[in-house]
Amino acid sequence: MLRKLLPRIFWRNLCKLVKGVRILHQQTITAEELCKCRELLNDATLEFEEIYYARDADRLHLVRPCIHALWHGPDEIFFRGALISITQWTMERLIGDLVAELRQHSKPYANLSQRAFLRCQVNALFALCPLLNPNHKPDSELPRGAEVIGDEYVLLRALDNCPWPVSQDEASAFHDFFAETEPGIVDAAARDTYMLKVRRWDRLQLPNGQVVKSAWKENNRPLMSLRLGLRIRRCVKFTDDGETHMGEVRYFAQVGQARRTVALVSVFGPRDEDLYADSYETVDLRPYRGDEALRVIDAKSIKAVVGMIPDEVDDDLDPTTDYQHFHLGREYAVVEKMGFDGGILVGDRDPEGEVEE
């Protein structure tokens, strides 16, 4: 983590910039967040000028114009809306798409206007009837063996051929889940001796297009084969009892009389609140608790895939032989995919989700 490499003044300045830019790239921004963003970016840009070039006009040519542009971001959102919908990236992409459709060199601007008008009409039709979109994938085009569970959540294989008995720690977690959701099928006094068999599913596709994997299959590969952890996709952000948590998915299953789709997760511990506040809410550090914090949750409570990056790398760890990936007691920082909600606006899907077993 950079906080252990950079002097404190530089690290805190970077945290202010990161927090402010994250807010700017949200699709939905509240008035409170916008005021906070403006305060952070005003302070961060002023500090940047002071600590990097002492606000010396003779050094102004060494500073990128984008630093000054950060001053104006929050104000532009107030007048024009979320910048994620009107930034240069989306506009340049649209211009490139429309220009690529031009086939006549005469009256290029009139031609371009007509292509834009036609695009608006086509997009309106796709919004009214998604089946008209050639890129729309109906349920029949899902991978072999996939099972739609509703609300745009889809279970994806691998799948156990038959039910397998779970460990006692896992069975206790299922017992707690049934005691809350279907109390009639379990004995409250038999938690420590409860036994259960389940058929495990490996993956779950989320409504935003991301695909969650599970430790059941990912633990069959050493850390090195997962690109030093950058492609571990079994850590998720989910909600439970109105609170947001981070967890490692062990596997998915369909259980109970109602055949509810659930996920067995190992919930990461509470974040380091002092560090979170000191970093202006950019560093969310949580301890891994392994089997000590197993919990069964509704699969539809999973909101997104997140990365869990180790706070410190153990020099004694050999990535070619490490099949566990996460280690008890060590701390991991939460990394979310910034701007992914903007990808939903243009129908993009997470490219990691296209990789099948």
Q: What is the pLDDT of residue 338?
A: 67
User: Does 56 share its domain with 186?
Assistant: no
Q: Which residue range is the domain that position 37 belongs to?
A: 2-85
Query: Cα(230)–Cα(308) distance, rounded to whole angstroms?
Result: 9
User: Does 59 share its domain with 95?
Assistant: no
Residues in the chain: 357
Cβ pair 254, 236 in contact under 8 A? no
User: Does 13 share its domain with 66?
Assistant: yes
User: Does 332 share its domain with 249?
Assistant: yes
The domain that holds 233 is classified in CATH as 2.30.30
The dihedral over CA atoms of 152, 127, 337, 277, expressed in degrees to the nearest 10, equals: -100
User: Does 271 share its domain with 231?
Assistant: yes
Q: What is the pLDDT of residue 343?
A: 47
User: Does 170 share its domain with 253?
Assistant: yes
User: Does 60 share its domain with 107?
Assistant: no
Q: What is the pLDDT of residue 175?
A: 93
Query: Cα(6)–Cα(19) distance, rounded to whole angstroms?
Result: 17
Q: What is the pLDDT of residue 349?
A: 53
In the chain, what is the straight-line distance between the N-terminal and C-terminal CA atoms, in Å?
33
Of 70, 102, 132, which one is at a domain's C-terminal end? 132
Cβ pair 66, 45 in contact under 8 A? no
Question: Mean pLDDT of residues grouped by 10 in the chain (357 residues)?
Answer: 87 94 86 93 91 83 79 85 71 87 86 92 91 72 86 92 93 92 83 91 92 91 64 89 93 91 96 94 94 94 92 76 82 81 50 50
Q: 260 has which bridge partners? A: 255
Token pair, residue 164, equals 């397998």
User: Does 123 share its domain with 230?
Assistant: no
Token pair, residue 260, equals 């509810």
Q: What is the pLDDT of residue 342?
A: 46
Cβ pair 67, 45 in contact under 8 A? yes
Cα-flanking dihedrals φ and ψ of residue 326, to 5°? -110, 140
Q: What is the pLDDT of residue 266?
A: 96
Cα-flanking dihedrals φ and ψ of residue 215, to 5°? -65, -25
Question: Number of folded domains in the chain?
Answer: 3
Of 132, 156, 190, which one is at a domain's C-terminal end? 132
Q: Collapsing DSSP states into helix, strand and coil, what is residue 15?
A: helix
User: Does 109 share its domain with 215?
Assistant: no
Q: What is the pLDDT of residue 316?
A: 74
Q: What is the pLDDT of residue 282?
A: 93
Q: What is the pLDDT of residue 44?
A: 92
User: Does 166 share its domain with 287?
Assistant: yes
Q: What is the pLDDT of residue 318?
A: 73
User: Does 114 share its domain with 175?
Assistant: no
Of 132, 162, 191, which one is at a domain's C-terminal end? 132
**H/E run at residue 123:** helix 108-128
How many helical (H) and strand (E) elements, i.e. helices and strands, does the chain have?
10, 14
User: Does 116 share its domain with 74?
Assistant: no
Find where tokens 């530089």 sit: 10
- Which residue intervals of 146-270 are DSSP H helices? 168-181, 215-218
